[in-house]
Amino acid sequence: MDIVLFGLEKTLLLVGIVCVLTGMVRYGKRSQDWKGVATMFYKRIHMSVAEYKWYRLGVAMIVLAIALRIVLLTFWPA
């Protein structure tokens, strides 16, 4: 059980990072504002709906991976 959850955690984290990067690259290609990609974590930028969905999905998956990590360390400490 813990091996499956460990694999699921790593998969969620990896797919989440890929989704965030996909949203960032799509914004950069569309707007040609690569400086905006670097500042998107602390400054509001104008993303399209599709770019924002990729970004939001990635952040949600990363948060789920972190929550799963906390559960794993609570019930199956190493």
Instruction: State pLDDT tens for residues 2-19.
Output: 789 889 999 999 999 999
Range of the domain at 6: 2-75
Neighbours of 50 (CB within 10 A): 13
Tally the domains of the chain: 1
The model's confidence at residue 30, banded by pLDDT at 50, 70 and 90, is: very high
Instruction: State pLDDT tens for residues 39-69.
Output: 887 778 888 999 999 999 999 999 999 999 9
Q: Is the pLDDT of residue 34 over 90?
A: no
Q: Is the pLDDT of residue 33 over 90?
A: no
pLDDT at 77: 84
pLDDT at 16: 97
